Chain A
């Protein structure tokens, strides 16, 4: 019976894993696509209010976060290159930098959000209920979309953490790095969504 055991574990198909990740990325794009659709419908209805609200956001913090994420996308790509060249030290370093950037992004997000919370502006708050339609919708969408995006940042970070430890244990190496490649793909997706969120939320004033 032994010839029947563990055929699944031995089977390795990197092409399949990558194709699977790309398909999963399609589903993520459609998930956010629904939100972008709702955003565009309500922005068409309340263009003035949306513009007023976006003045409340700090373009500086948003811009810093954009640069940080773009930079982290670059470092994760550099880590890929390093591992292909069998330079484990650099690969680990670049993943570390990526994770650091992700943490900066979340810290900035934390300050942004807590500033809003401090002013009584959070989903379900008394102040939100007093706002008129357009303002209420803008901030609801703002919290919903950036919140969902932050959740994706956390998922991406978890994936990269796993890669980091697997690289340390040498179970990801120059001959077998599809997990890192997929995590990097996912990280680029998270970055890409932010590239759309940033202008739509911050730069419409």
Chain B
């Protein structure tokens, strides 16, 4: 601000380097490690934990890995404490805690937790299924989050992800059943997602209605429409309108034979492979193409973009169409990959989780996809733990991912910054 004033002799220009260091990472790591140690003290378990690495049809069957449960868990606690100490040391020296350190410690603590939970159990932890199930559960969340990222980077907050997923699932079910082809279902889902996006665009861009309002209301509208049509039309005609043929699994040669992760990641349906392609594609489109640059410009500073001749409204509409198409694919997952019929409100809040993943991933496609994978893993964990008969009530297992997310958001991610013009309608002067 002082730059506009005339410089006076009294003004002394000072150069100081200020490093902002957050103490949150070591605190969060410390709290989680301490809680885990407390758990081990309060509920000690004897016996060995078995991790099953092999799955049916492996070329090279890996042996099961058996570790002493409690001892392993304590080793992990020690590692966690050491990591926390390193983080604290880094902070004390005025340096940032690298993200990889937090991630590695999270994996270590998770391993320790699994070892503790499976200790002394007759069942073993199926690692392959844990990974594969996580990816599957994450698919709609990843697509939803990607759609959310594209919309928000262009300056349109998309709370209607849930609605796009649900509309996609509904249309995929009907179109897939009528035509008998899952591809038609996928296409219909894309159209449905785009339609929801266009309604959002008409209200948010053309009529400049508050985008949060439109998003929330669109969710309710889609829930109402699909549930109404489901009860009124699909239920009486279940065979002719609501019984899709699902995509079959396709094993990718060589890759599918990699032990542990191969069958989990590379023996999936087309939609899952689309997800593998979509994440880098969206990243590339946003970060390395002219379209992405313009889109981000419109999201950060629409006036500046307008000044250099970028059509703000058109760019935002186009971004919404792309976002809707992506989210629609995520919706198709429910009815042409996961199960073969539509059910009332079957997305069950995945759109809101995707919204959380967008913010968790700081509006970056790759990070958002990783956050979505985390949520997928978390919701899959309970199934794995019920196999080994974990000593903790199942409700707490189910709760755990959400608690961890809060810790992560508060401790590791911190203040997230949205695109500057996100949510603001642009009025040309």
* B partners with A: no
List chain B positions with a Cβ less than 8 A from chain A. Answer: none
